[in-house]
Structure formats: structure tokens, C-alpha cells
A and B are shown apart, each in its own frame.
Chain A
Amino acid sequence: MRREAIRPNSALVSLLLATLVVWLGLDTVSVSPNRIVPGQGVDVLGVAGWGGVAASIAPILIVLGLAWRPTPVRLRWATGLVVLMLSALPVWLVVAAALTVDPDMPQARMGIGGGVWVALFLLLLALIELRTRLALSRVLGWALLLVPLASLAACLALGLEPLALRQEYQGRSAAFVSAIGEHLMLVGVAVSLSLMLGIGLAMAMRHWPRAQRMGFAILNFLQTIPSLALFGLLLAPLAWLSGRFEWLAALGVSGIGWAPALLALVGYSLLPMVRNTYVALDGVDPDVIDAARGMGMSRGQVFRQVRLPLALPVILEGIRITTVQAIGLTAVAALIGAGGLGTFIFQGLGQAAMDLVLLGALPILVMALVADALLGALTDLLRPGGAT
């Protein structure tokens, strides 16, 4: 056991060596005089000279040393240093903005370079590895991330005006906020609708086993059709319907916009939802149901007070899968005019404005991760026996 404990943690060592290589090898920022001209990459040496190189690689080397002889105490120190380095990344951008962007050129902008992105990714992986090794709780893991987030918020508030991502945001802050609203709205409505439909369908399938095979076959079939194709296929029928029935058109239903997006989202969401709900309701121990009936509960009471609560964690798992999937699919729905954050992605791709693409893609990524974490935590909490 003791021999085991002092073997180098090779995962952590490799991650930090890789961080060192990309930090020194790739450009950390790129500077361009305006939005149209492609940026000029600047590496660590170019930004802050040899002093900057030494200061920035010192913590990496220290963590490397700690990971070489990873006792729990050293791993705790390493965790602190990794959090510190993550918090230092936004500060680095402030420094880089001050040193590389000419203040006399108001149009000048600074992009975040590959070095910073890859270092961010690798350091987050290192944090995950440390969290696993130290067996830190999920909540504590998330709490650790609050420090770098606070640092980012502070840096955005204090400086970073030349940051291209920020400039793209400031040009369309109102559109950005409403896009997030539309995105969340579509996801929320689609998930709630498919939850209600899903519970209904799952109960119907339990009632009529014959319908079960057919139902799952249809839902599987729907899930196989690529999202872009399904959005496209709904265009014509909905356009026809809205042309045919005035009250539908009055509701805002048309071939493009929210109506086909919502229909497709619900269609995709049904399979994971019905499958999990079905398995959950079916998986409740029959003895428990018997006992509840024996206590004189009516069928409805048994369902509401026994079966549903016991099935809840697995149903929630279905909601989690569905929500994460819907957040991604809603981005595609922007192509058929449904709005949401995908709008920025496709606008940016069309204009070859990569920072605009990031403005759309990053919040989607964050949303998916947050939804996954929150619903995952809720599932853990509701599982019999409480949080694990």
C-alpha cells in the first residue's frame, strides 16, 4: 500500500507536461487591428518576455513535482495550484490586452489563442483527475470552479475591452439575452411536453403490451432520422397546414420558426423519456406494490404515493438525457429560423467571424454542462439512501 502511494500519478504528470508544451508552443492570444483582418498570433514570450514565461510555468512545474510523489497532502496542494492557474488565465488575458493591444486603435481586438483554450481544457482535466483521486464530493468539485469563474467575472468587469468575444457581445447584448431566453424556452417547453407525453405513453404501453413493441419501433425510427433532415421534412407540411387553417397561422405556426423546431424536439425527446419512464415504472418491486395494496391503498394511491416516487430517479435520468440532447438540437433549429443561440453560430460561420461562433457555442456548452450537473445531482438526491 505504501509503495503504491508514492508511485508517480502518471495521468496528472502527462496532463501537466502537455499543458507545459501547449502553453509554450501555441499562441496565447491573437491581435488584429479590426474585425476583418485575421489576427496575428502572439506567444507567451511575445506577450510578457522571459519573466512572463518563468512566472507562468513555475506553478506548472511545482504541480509536476507534487504529482511525482502524490501523497494526499501534496495532491491537496496540487488542487489548490490548479485552481489558482485556472483563475490566472483570465488575468493573463488582461495582461496580454494591456501589453499587446495598441490603445490608440479603438478598433483593435484581441482573440483568445489556442494555447489558452488547450491549457484551460487540460487544467480542467487535471482538476477532474485530482477530484477523483482525493474522492472529493461533486458539490466541492463545482465549488472549486467558482474561484476561476469569479476571477473571470472580475477581469471582465475591470478590463478586457479589446477582447473580441466581449466586443461581439457588446454589439448585440440585447439579441444575446433574448437568444438565451428563446433557447431556454424552446428546451423547457419541449422537455415538459415530452415529459407529459412520455409518462402517458409509458403508462399506455404498460397497459397494452401489444402497443409496446410498435411504440418503441416508431420512437426508435424517429430518433434515427438526422435532426437537420427532420427539421427540413417538417417545413413543407407545416407550411401547408398554416396556409390551410387560418387559426394555426394566427398562432404563429408556419413552415419555419418555432413550430417545426418544437415538434422535432418533442419527437427526439420522446424515446429517452418513454424508455426511462417505462423501465422505471416497470422496475418497481412488485412486493412493495402488494404491500401497499394490502394496506388498503386504492390503485390511484398506489400509483401516486408508491410507484411514482420509487420510479422518480430513473425518470429524472430520462429528463436529464432529454434536456441535454434538446439543448444541442435547439442550436440546429436556428437554421430553420427558430432563434436561440444557434443563430449566432450560423451567422458567425456565414461571416467567418469565429468570435461570433464562440459567442453562440460557449453558452450552449455551459448550458448543457450545467443542466447535466444539476439534474444529475437531483437524481442522486432522490435516489433511495440519499446522496452518494
Chain B
Amino acid sequence: MSVGIMNSARLSHRLGWLAPLVWLVLLLFACLGMEELEGLFRLVEPDSQAVIYERADFLVLLGRHLLVVGVAALLAILLGVGAAVAVTRPGGRDFLPLVGQLASIGQTFPPVAVLALAVPVLGFGTLPIIVALLLYGLLPIVRNTLAGLEGIDPGVAEAARGMGMTGGQRLRQVELPLAAPVILAGIRTSVTINIATAAIGATVGASNLGDPIISGIVNGNTAYVLQGALLIGLLALCVDSLFARLQPVASS
């Protein structure tokens, strides 16, 4: 199924840490040196007074963006992996079909709709965005953790049991390491979607890298839009290439 992902994983393995590093350096340069590009943006927007977004420092916006996505991702990983592990243990088996179905149906929900529905319940600001991202980010993680744990050869689990391993040992030393590539792929999907969704969160009062884009669209200033889009794009590529580096190449 994942021809493309595998190829890019192989490619990035050969490049080592180079790809994430290059994107990171570009991202920081763009954050700090946006003023240097003023001439370029002036070409796009010759009539506007200001061509560089100045309502907030780009580095601060980047920090807020990372904070929101990071906190949501961390909680989603803890809760998602935890839930998937819980429903695959003997005590939680009753919940397995429901959680599995919920994780696959939930992925049909568009992220924007989830974000929009979170606002009436939770209000405007940063917290609702974190909650919405957390809820939405859970689904791919739960789904992949379940797939990873369920996909383990029953013979392997049996052998571990035969060696006298306790339930906890089997989980830590056998099941989780074997499922790790699939779990990591789920986390990657979750974080990629959340970086994009967090930007849309700028419309509901969170201040992050989506701000310049929204402000640019509202005021008809294409230069602002370009600055925001450039930074979010670089951030997404940086994080994605980092995951591509971490993800072990699936053995075919």
C-alpha cells in the first residue's frame, strides 16, 4: 500500500539527518531574516504600505505553533497508545471492536469540521484548539497502534509467553518494539494533519503561523499570505522529514 512512503523513507535514510537539518535551517532563516526578503515581497505587493507581517515576531508565532501541536501530539500519543494497549489486553477486550470502529469512522471526520464543532463547546482561544487537535490526532495513533499490535505473528507472542515473560514484559520487550514502525507511521500522520489544522486554528483566536495567512487574506495582502504559507510549509517539511528519518525502513 505504501509504495511512496517506503521510497521516500529509503531515500531519506540515505540522506541521514541532512534533510531535516536543511529544512530546519531554512525555517529558522526564514523566521529571522524575513525582512531581508522585503524587496521580493514588494514585487508581489507593490501598492501596500507594509509588506512584512509585523503584528508578531515570526519566531514567537513558530513557537506557539509548535507548542500547540507538540502538547496535543504528546497527549494524543500517551492516550492513543495507552487506549490501544488497554483494549488489546485481556481485561479490556470487550472494548476492542468499539474502539477499532470509532477510530476508523472518526477518521472520516474532516479536521476543519472537528475544529469548528469544538468552538461552540469549548470557546475561543488556544485551549480549545489543543483539545480539538488532541481528539483528532488520537484517531490515527489508536488505529495504527491497534493494527501494529494485532498484526504481530501469534507465534511470536506464544514464544514470549513460553519463555515465561509476564504480560508487562511481553508488551514492553516484544509487542511494542515489533509494532513500533506502524505506531510511528500513525504518529506521523497525526502530527502532519495537526500542523495543518493548527494553522486553521488562527481563525478561532489562536495566534500561530496561520495568523499572517488569515490576516493577509482578510486585508488582501498577498505578501502576508506568502510569508505565513512559506513558514508553515517549511515547518511541515521539517517535521515530516524528521519522522521519515526516525521511521525504520519497512522490510519488504
A227 and B196: CB pair below 8 A? yes
**A–B Cβ pairs within 8 angstroms, 18 of them:** A9-B94, A117-B121, A128-B101, A217-B7, A217-B8, A224-B240, A229-B196, A232-B216, A233-B225, A236-B44, A275-B1, A324-B110, A327-B110, A331-B113, A352-B124, A361-B112, A365-B109, A372-B108
- Binding stretch for chain B, among A58-66, A149-157, A342-350: A342-350
- Complex CA gap A206/B82 in Å reads 41
Does A219 lie at the interface of the complex (its beta carbon under 8 Å from any beta carbon of B)? yes
Stretch from B55-63, B139-147, B150-158, B229-237 contacting the other chain: B229-237
Known pairs A9-B94, A224-B240, A328-B113; A335 contacts B203 (CB<8 A): yes
Q: A319-341 toward B: CB 8 Å interface, digit per residue (1/0)?
A: 00000100111011001100000
Closest to B197 in A: A226
User: Are A132 and B98 closer than 8 Å at their CB atoms?
Assistant: yes
Judge whether A216 and B8 touch: CB under 8 Å. yes
At the interface, yes or no: A213 with Cβ under 8 Å from chain B? yes
Docked-complex contact B109 and A132, CB < 8 angstroms: no
Given contacts A275-B3, A349-B116, contact A213 B237 (CB under 8 A): no
Mark out the residues of chain B between 109 and 155 whose CB falls within 8 Å of any chain A CB in the assembled complex.
Answer: 109-113, 116-117, 119-121, 124
- Is A266's beta carbon under 8 Å from chain B? no
Chain A residues positioned under 8 Å from B229 (CB to CB): 228-230, 232-233
Contact A357 B116 (CB under 8 A): yes
Q: Does A162 contact B (CB under 8 A)?
A: no
Report yes or no: A217 in contact with B216, Cβ–Cβ below 8 A: no
Interface centre among A228, A239, A255, A332 (most CB of B within 10 A): A228
Q: Are A220 and B5 in contact (CB under 8 A)?
A: yes
Which residue of B116, B226, B240 is within 8 Å of A360 (Cβ)? B116
The contact of B119 among A125, A233, A255, A349, by CB within 8 Å, is A349
Q: Residues of A contacting B225 with CB < 8 Å?
A: 232-233, 235-236
- Within 8 Å of chain B (Cβ to Cβ): is A364? yes
A129, CB-defined interface residue at 8 Å: yes
**Distance of A217 Cα from B101 Cα, bound (Å):** 32
Complex Cα distance, B44 from A236, in Å, reads 7
**Chain A residue with the shortest CB-CB distance to B224:** A232
Residues of chain B in range 1-31 having any CB-CB distance to chain A below 8 Å: 1-5, 7-8, 11
Is B192 close to A, CB under 8 A? yes
The one of B11, B109, B124, B203 in contact with A217, judged by C-beta atoms closer than 8 angstroms, is B11
Q: Which residue of B lies closest to A111 (CB)?
A: B120
- Asked if A278 is an interface residue, CB under 8 A from chain B, the answer is yes
Residue B80 at the A interface, CB < 8 A? no
Q: How far is the CA of A255 from the CA of B45 in the complex (A)?
A: 13
Tell me if B199 counts as interface (CB < 8 A to partner A).
yes
Complex CA gap A216/B112 in Å reads 27
Closest 5 CB pairs of A and B: A328-B110, A226-B196, A216-B4, A232-B229, A354-B120
B98 near A10: Cβ-Cβ < 8 Å:
no
Closest to B10 in A: A213
Given contacts A228-B228, A331-B110, A361-B112, 5 further A-B contacts (CB under 8 A): A226-B195, A226-B233, A229-B213, A233-B225, A372-B108
Contacts of A365 in B (CB 8 A): 109-110, 113, 117
| Shortest Cβ gap from A93 to chain B (Å) | 16
Instruction: Spell out B's residues near A (CB within 8 Å).
Output: 1-5, 7-8, 11, 44, 94-95, 97-98, 101-102, 105, 108-113, 116-117, 119-121, 124, 192, 195-196, 199-200, 203-204, 210, 213-214, 216-217, 222, 225-226, 228-230, 232-233, 236-237, 240
Q: Which residues of B contact A331 (CB under 8 A)?
A: 110, 112-113
User: Are the C-beta atoms of B199 and A229 separated by less than 8 Å?
Assistant: yes
Q: Give the residues in chain A near B8, CB-CB below 8 Å.
A: 216-217, 220
A335-B217 contact in complex given A224-B240, A275-B1, A357-B116, C-beta closer than 8 Å:
yes
Docked pose: A329 CA to B196 CA in angstroms: 11
* Least CB separation from A328: chain B residue: B110
Residues of chain A at interface, number, CB under 8 A:
64
Closest to B5 in A: A220
Tell me, rounded to whole Å, the shortest Cβ–Cβ distance linking B30 to chain A: 13
Q: Tell me the bound Cα distance from A171 to B201 in angstroms.
A: 27
**Cβ-defined contact, B109 with A225, below 8 A:** no
Q: Which of A356-373 contact B (CB under 8 A)?
A: 357-358, 360-361, 364-365, 368-369, 372
Query: Closest CB-CB distance, B48 to chain A, in whole Å?
Result: 13
Contact flag A10-B95 (CB < 8 Å), given A327-B110, A361-B113: yes
**Which residue of chain A has the shortest Cβ distance to B220 in the bound complex?**
A256
A225-B233, A349-B119 known; A128-B102 Cβ under 8 A: yes
The residue on B at minimum CB distance from A282 is B3
Instruction: Report the Cα distance A301→B59, complex, angstroms.
Output: 59
* Complex CA–CA separation, A224 to B194 (angstroms): 11
Q: For the complex formed, measure the closest distance between the CB of A380 and the CB atoms of chain B, giving whole angstroms.
A: 14
Which has the most chain B C-beta neighbours within 10 Å: A132, A225, A331, A346?
Answer: A225
Given known pairs A125-B98, A224-B192, A228-B229, the reply for A345 and B110 (CB within 8 Å) is: no
Question: At the interface, yes or no: A221 with Cβ under 8 Å from chain B?
Answer: yes
Q: Give the chain B neighbours of A226 by CB distance below 8 A.
A: 195-196, 199, 232-233, 236
Determine the chain A residues whose CB is within 8 A of the CB of B236 once the complex forms. 224-226, 229
A128-B97 Cα distance, complex, nearest whole Å = 9
Docked Cα-Cα span, A41 to B236, in Å, equals: 41
- Taken together as a complex, chains A and B put the C-alpha atoms of A346 and B201 apart, in Å, by 11
| Nearest CB of A to B120, in Å | 4
Q: Are A335 and B11 in contact (CB under 8 A)?
A: no
Do the beta carbons of B119 and A354 come within 8 Å of each other? Answer: yes
Q: Given A232-B226, A357-B116, A221–B213 Cβ distance below 8 Å? A: no
* Across-interface contacts of B94 in A (CB, < 8 A): 9-11
